[in-house]
A and B are shown apart, each in its own frame.
Chain A
Amino acid sequence: MKRSLTVGLLVALFQAACSSGVAGARQDSTPVHTREAARAEQSANRGADRLRKGKGEREDTVLRAMQDELLRSRRLQLPEHKPPYFVSYLLRDSDLYSVSASFGAITNCDRQHDRTLSNDVRVGDYDLDNSDQLFANRGDEVPLEDNYDAIRNQLWLRTDANYKAAVQIFERIQSILKQRQIVDRPPSFSRATVITSEAPIPSLTYQKERWDGTVRHLSALFRDYPAILTSQVTFSCRRRGRWLANTEGSRTRDGETGATLLITAEAETKDGARVSDFDLASATQPGGLPSDEELVARTKKLADRVTALANATAAEEYTGPVLFEGQAAADLFGEALVPRLLNPTVSIMQLAAGVENTQNKPGKRILPAYLSVIDDPLATTFAGHALKGAYKIDDEGVPAQRVELIKEGVIQTFCSGRRPGRFVAASNGHLREGTPKVSQLFITTTKATPFAQLKEKLIEIGKDQGLKYVFIVRHLNNQTMYTSMPIDFGSFLPQRSDINLTPPTLLYKVSVEDGHEDLVRSARFANVSDKILRSIQAVGDDSNVFSLVQAGALPQTSSLVTPSVLISEMDIEKQEGAREAPMYLKNPYAAKSLSVAPPASIGNGSGAAPIW
């Protein structure tokens, strides 16, 4: 189960390493008329005019089909109901090649080309419409080819079905509002500038033989590590294209490419627990991935790491300071901070039930005063390192904007889409894959501690607290985020203050006496709440670019630039997981002769049979 998800959802990582191919998006300031229909028609026509090309150049077939169905959609009307005031189409094209290997042989090889269509149909007006309902606007299968008639036919059927659904939902919302007194309800939808741009959609180019060979070769390296039970190497590359049009007149076409290489390994400890870790490389093109030599080295390093983990001692209960270095710091912010940076919205259902949570609001301090946070989708490099996750236009056709989210520890604003929240009414171009997301996050500080001194500080705090040892985390096993189910309940459930922080894979027990480090396994963080961000004691001067994985309709990787972080107090516990008796027989590759294991007791598979 796990493996197939890993492979399948890797697909989604491409957002990650994707260079946005939008060529110079132009923006218009749209006049605000009171009559939506007139306005929509005007801008729709203008959008079309702009896309009409000079001699020889042909209009984009998909955009033309969208344009023509958008115009027709104004005639959609059920008796005694209004026609839609807003319709939009988002068509995505995804062309993917993915190959996985284990133990030197290919286990999965997949070329997949598909297109999905999202269609937003709104009745009512910007102040109150049908969009309150919580349902994922999942795309249907649509024609794979730029066939005008076939695409129009699909657009027509989808728009018709969605209009009928929209009318029904709008009726329900209006009846709720008649029954319940709801004051200061945020509007349903915000206006946005009209944008037109047309960038080429790149094609997918990769050398199949080469990458098939690479994953075979890398995965075969694990044959020399008998402690590792399962391992997998997956190469994927993807081309994505996007077409977007709405009745306000926005039209865009763009595309991106990405490539990743994911290596995972799992071993069994003497007491039957499982330990695992992974390594991920990503780039905008397959050619941008590390060289074979580097990949071999990284694979061996992972194998060594997991083998070491299998032989490490299990964690014990601990309360005290913890230093999050490098990638671990990025993961910590990814899980503890990112959810608080997204525009909190409230539905009418929630307002009616009185479950709105306004804990997260501008003006609230959530970090120490020497830390600020910026999200910048437009940045392309940091200190000479390429960033992943840049884009120019979001999935609602809104130009991406740099936003200062936290200034001197205090919330300023949120990453937003066009759905207004109580505090942020307009979009700043952060809606992607259905919900607002961070793009490229920069944690900056005015008080950096030299990296080398962080460990000293850690030990110092430990001494003050009378501890014999303290902890450093270098990697969290947030691979689960790659494989987690893409269901976003975030906006549905009341916000909770406890954080389910991913367990660490590389956790080191540091002696306060002499500073020497021992790897510890099977640990998890306990009792983590949003207070953890305020327990930051110091940050390093080692800011670097790390990958950030966000779950969502499609999980995405992007970049997070952060220094290492020292937390003054955290709880660590031993992670209790399912146990199995050790393998009865040796790995056939390693086994020189037959060996027979002594019997375990019946009906108790977790009996501790000895290793041989």
Chain B
Amino acid sequence: MPTNLRGRTLFSLLVSLLVACSRPACAADTATSLQSPVLNALNEELTRSFTAMKNRHAEAPLYYLGYRLYDLRTRTLTASYGSLTQDTEKRNRFLSVDVRVGSPKLDNTHGSTGLFRLGRLYSGRSSTAAVPLDDDEAALRNVVWLNTDAALKAAEREYGQVKASKDIRVDEEDQSDDFAAAKPVDCINRINTAQPLDAELWKERLRRLSEIYKKYPDIQKSSVELVQETTTRYLINSEGTRIQDEVHQVRFTTKASSTMNDGMELNLYDLSHAFAADELPDEAALGQSIEAVAQDLMKLRKANVADPYAGPAILRGKAAAVFFHEILGHRVEGHRQKDEREGKTFTRKVNEQIMPEFISVFDDPTLKKIGQADLAGHYEIDDEGVPAQRVTVVENGVLRGFLMSRSPINKFTASNGHGRCSPGANPVARQGNLIVQSSKRVPYEKLREMLIEEARKQGKPYGLVFDEIAGGFAVTQTMFTQAFKLMPLKVTRVWADGRPDELIRGVNLVGTPIVSLETIISAGDDYATFNGICGAESGWVPVSASAPSLLVRTVEVARNDKSQTKPPLLPAPLYDKPTSKMGKGGEHK
């Protein structure tokens, strides 16, 4: 399954999708009056199915049944060069049926992580029916019934295979159970709380904003986009959990690209996120962010191409945050310590020093803000119905814990509320708000001096400063090189001999995790937050990572892929001389 493999191995943190995320806390407001017909239908079928089926099969008893239904509404408006290019309104409901047969000690999910299970509902059975958008209980129950039947049959088959392979394979390193106990949660929130988007106003605004790029003849492709997303979630299971909640996200993104004479395509973007469209910056401010992107792109066009290099570097706040998300965050996701195909970089290092003692790291989804910054990875209850908890990952350089879903691992038998997924996928342990702290902090200017000093010490002509990072990915599985790669957008050379700083283009930051963490020299007294959407086997989830600027003894950069295609042969139509006969191109001023 090559597609699965790809999904399993590449964990990208893409900033192109920045997310503001707020799940309302459970304010004990569990009034049944708020309970929607959707939850009623799920409840009816859950009761009917679980009662009827739990004792159906002596050898493969059904011990857990859960439904997760997500109602996702997305409004997208995109404009480019003064004209709308996309105007869509989508609504989808996704139903996932979680069936566990056997016992928590050994069940049908054994040895499989999210993606494997994702595929099973859709295989073999053609009757997986579309989920009604209408709140029609009869129609909803009909679909729940069809999907439950398919999921249960698949689970029984899987359980047979699990038992068979248990008999023929060597004992696994980790003998933990397959499912952790969790307390039921009852939390019914008000839904249908989205503010309707003033589409006409935004269309006009986006048309105007997208015209800004017309001023720049060297920017070939550009766009501005507004996405408004509402996700309503219904979780219910046979343990008594009932959850109904809703999340709103609005993001404004602008992107621009320019092709250099050497074929390199330079891309920059900017984005703003909010809980509602009217909380976004005003049009003037959005216009300024577009101008800034365009100006930065013009500066990058003048930058020199980078050379491969290994030496000291500063990762400024956001870059440092992405660095930690990739090299540490993904490797402390609980289920990876168990999966026989995973590299298990840190599995046996609990209570061991894995980085300098002035660094501590924790993940806390319950935080909504850090300073002034929204944290996109905020949620109160995870997708397995477990309340989110703060997890100490690294304490004074010593590894203390893992991010846990309900899949137990050696010595970590309970979930700490990190089981997450995108609608339609199955939850695994994921990051929420990853926060890096340093007890050793110096002003940024000092950090810069230390960089120059370190470069001199190493006999390097310059050190590097990484400002912004578009995203990156880490490979955690044994069958691949367990490396990471980050894609910086802005990289500056800081010369040891005092020459002025120099912007460079076309590099990737590459490395291996253990070495990279050990070479952190110091941290700045600044702090930055990177909000993004992270993809892994359980789909795309909003996350954040926050960190101070970090001085690292050695980073390695490699040249990135570059297209060999020349920039356009003719100038942009707006900047071309009128053609001889037909050229009444005077429409544009």
Contacts and interface: CB of A to CB of B under 8 A. Distances in A.
Interface of A: 1-4, 44-45, 48, 67-69, 71-72, 75-78, 100-114, 141-145, 147-153, 155-157, 160-161, 163-164, 216, 223, 229-230, 232, 266, 274, 578, 580-581, 583-585, 587-589, 591, 594-600, 602-605
B124 A102 contact: no
B221 A266 contact: no
A580 B126 CA distance: 10
Contacts of A156: 568, 570, 572-573
B133 A107 contact: yes
Contacts of B308: none
Contact of B45 (A110, A164, A588): A588
Contacts of A597: 56
A4 B128 CA distance: 11
Nearest to A584: B149
A372 B39 CA distance: 62
A164 to B, nearest CB: 6
Given A149-B83, A580-B125, 16 more contacts: A4-B130, A76-B569, A101-B132, A106-B132, A109-B91, A113-B87, A143-B81, A147-B82, A149-B574, A149-B587, A160-B569, A216-B134, A229-B146, A585-B48, A588-B45, A602-B59
Interface in B83-104: 83-91
B385 to A, nearest CB: 24
Interface in B127-178: 127-134, 136, 138-146, 148-150, 152-154, 156-157, 159-161, 163-164
Contacts of A108: 130, 133
B80 interface: yes
Given A103-B138, A105-B139, A67 B84 contact: no
Nearest to A108: B130
Nearest to A4: B130
A477 to B, nearest CB: 13
Given A103-B142, A602-B60, A144 B84 contact: yes
A142 B85 contact: yes
A44 B579 CA distance: 13
B49 interface: yes
B1 interface: no
Contacts of A143: 80-81, 83-85
A527 B572 CA distance: 58
A153 B146 contact: no
12 contacts: A68-B573, A102-B142, A103-B132, A105-B136, A106-B133, A107-B131, A147-B82, A157-B221, A164-B566, A589-B142, A602-B160, A603-B156
B156 A602 contact: yes
Contacts of B85: 141-144, 150
B53 interface: yes
A603 to B, nearest CB: 2
B127 A229 contact: yes
B514 to A, nearest CB: 42
Given A76-B569, A584-B152, A45 B146 contact: no
A48 B582 contact: yes
Q: List 10 tightest A-B contacts by C-beta distance, closest first.
A: A603-B160, A105-B139, A105-B132, A147-B83, A150-B83, A143-B83, A107-B130, A105-B136, A105-B134, A150-B81
B87 A157 contact: no
A143 B81 CA distance: 9
Contact of A1 (B88, B122, B566): B122
B573 A152 contact: yes
Given A149-B82, A587-B142, A605-B157, A102 B573 contact: no
A595 B145 CA distance: 13
Contacts of A69: 573
A580 B156 CA distance: 12
A102 B129 contact: yes
A104 to B, nearest CB: 5
A145 B145 contact: no
Contact of B138 (A142, A229, A578, A589): A589
B500 interface: no
B478 interface: no
Interface in B266-281: none
Contacts of B581: 45, 71
A100 B129 CA distance: 12
A144 B76 CA distance: 14
B44 interface: yes
B348 interface: no
Tell me which of A3, A145, A581, A587 has the highest count of chain B C-beta atoms within 10 A of its own C-beta. Answer: A145
Interface on chain B toward A: helix, strand, loop, or mixed SS? mixed
Contacts of B142: 102-103, 587-589
A587 B145 contact: yes
A149 B52 contact: no
Interface in B37-83: 44-45, 48-49, 51-53, 55-60, 80-83
Contact of A596 (B56, B566, B583): B56
A598 B44 CA distance: 22
A141 B569 CA distance: 22
Nearest to A107: B130
A103 B127 CA distance: 13
Contact of B146 (A2, A216, A230): A230
Contacts of A2: 126
A78 B156 CA distance: 64
Given A100-B130, A107-B131, A153 B570 contact: no
Nearest to B210: A150
A604 B570 contact: no
B220 interface: yes
B499 interface: no
B576 interface: yes
B582 A230 contact: no
A145 B138 contact: no
Contacts of A145: 83-84
B587 A102 contact: no
B183 interface: no
Contacts of A585: 48-49, 52-53, 145, 148-149
Contacts of B588: 148-149
B130 A102 contact: yes
Interface in B440-486: none
Contacts of B163: 602-603
Contact of A103 (B125, B139, B153, B159): B139
Given A223-B138, A594-B48, A71 B579 contact: yes
A153 B149 CA distance: 53
Nearest to A110: B90
Interface in B547-589: 565-566, 568-570, 572-574, 576, 579, 581-583, 585, 587-588
Contacts of A152: 573-574
Contact of B582 (A3, A68, A75, A76): A68
A67 B584 CA distance: 11
B138 A605 contact: no
Contacts of A603: 156-157, 159-161, 163-164
A587 B49 CA distance: 11
A4 B220 CA distance: 35
A605 B124 contact: yes
B82 A68 contact: no
A482 B126 CA distance: 16
A153 B127 CA distance: 46
Tell me which of B88, B143, B150, B573 has the highest count of chain A C-beta atoms within 10 A of its own C-beta. Answer: B573
Given A109-B133, A160-B569, A588-B45, A153 B81 contact: yes
B214 interface: yes
B138 A68 contact: no
Given A147-B81, A147-B83, A160-B569, A584 B130 contact: no
B582 A45 contact: yes
A597 B585 CA distance: 76
B130 A150 contact: no
Contacts of B56: 584, 596-599
Contacts of B133: 105-109
Contacts of A600: 57, 156
A588 B44 contact: yes
